[in-house]
Amino acid sequence: MLVSPGPPLLLLCTLLTLTRCSELKVRVRLADGHITEEVLEADSEQDSITLEFKQADGTLITFVADFKQDVKIFRALILGELERGQSQYQALCFITRLNHNEIIPSESMARLRQKNPHTIRAAEEKRAMETVSMNVAVNLTRAWQLSTHLYNTCSMAHEAVYTREADVRHWLDTGVEGSMFEILPQGVEVPDLQSCRSVKDLWQPCSCSYSLRLEWYPCLLKYCRNRDATGRGTPYKCGIKSCSKGYNFTYYTPHKHLCLWEEET
């Protein structure tokens, strides 16, 4: 199997290209060795990027970068364990602020094209795992103030939409309505709160962890230089740098029954 870091096979469409690219399909190898296909879509009008892929266990991971609102959304659509009384799917949504230079702009993503679609891509830079304490629940009916993408992305998550207190403070400062947020119980309020991994009773509250990794995404633009007759260099976009990054989300759950994957770790 060929494994490629991406460039130079992934290029930016030039302004002379007649067809504007908006979807990119990339084959990647996950940490468990499973090969999957990532679908990356750019919407220049909405100024957003969506990345989606399926894990070996059937879980569908969706990532949305909303550049208009500087918000990023992670959704995990997990197959439920029907024999243990779960519904067919369990959805989780995690919302955080989108920082500058985390991912390339939507306009640049829309112009990406791929010469070798069957090549298995490996990211050039593997970024450190980020642990995020999601200690605030978000009321989805009012969350349109944060991002117009939230309802469509997270509607299946119902009451499992989370964010972190530091981001809430920032959003409140920008005028967002505070009634959409609810601080979740903390260790002080629930002194015996344990990790779901160590809890036996399926109906006991606990601290749940959910990890995911974006195995390949364009994180930076690369620039080259053209030299004119006088030797002057003119910079132009000539490719992308690809990154991989993992996230470990921790949050309060009222029942271990909603965190059964902790038994498998």
- 226 CB contacts (<8 Å, ≥6 apart)? 233, 234, 236
Question: At 85, is the pLDDT very low, low, confident or very high (cuts 50, 70, 90)?
Answer: low
Question: At 185, is the pLDDT very low, low, confident or very high (cuts 50, 70, 90)?
Answer: confident
Q: Nearest to residue 254, comparing CAs of 137, 165, 138?
A: 137
Other Cβ atoms within 10 Å of 34 Cβ, number: 12
- 93 CB contacts (<8 Å, ≥6 apart)? 73, 74, 75, 138, 150, 153, 154, 157, 160, 161, 162
Going from the C-alpha of 97 to that of each of 28, 132, 254, the distances in angstroms are 26, 12, 26
By the 8 A CB rule, do 53 and 37 touch? yes
CA distance 37 to 54: 7
To which residue do tokens 């998550």 refer? 157
Three-state SS for 131?
Answer: strand
pLDDT at residue 203 tops 80: yes
The angle subtended at Cα 29 by Cα 23 and Cα 32, nearest 5°, is 135
The angle subtended at Cα 114 by Cα 113 and Cα 115, nearest 5°, is 130
| pLDDT tens digit sequence for 155-166 | 999 889 999 999
| pLDDT tens digit sequence for 14-57 | 332 323 448 899 999 998 889 999 999 999 999 999 999 999 99
pLDDT at residue 86 tops 70: no
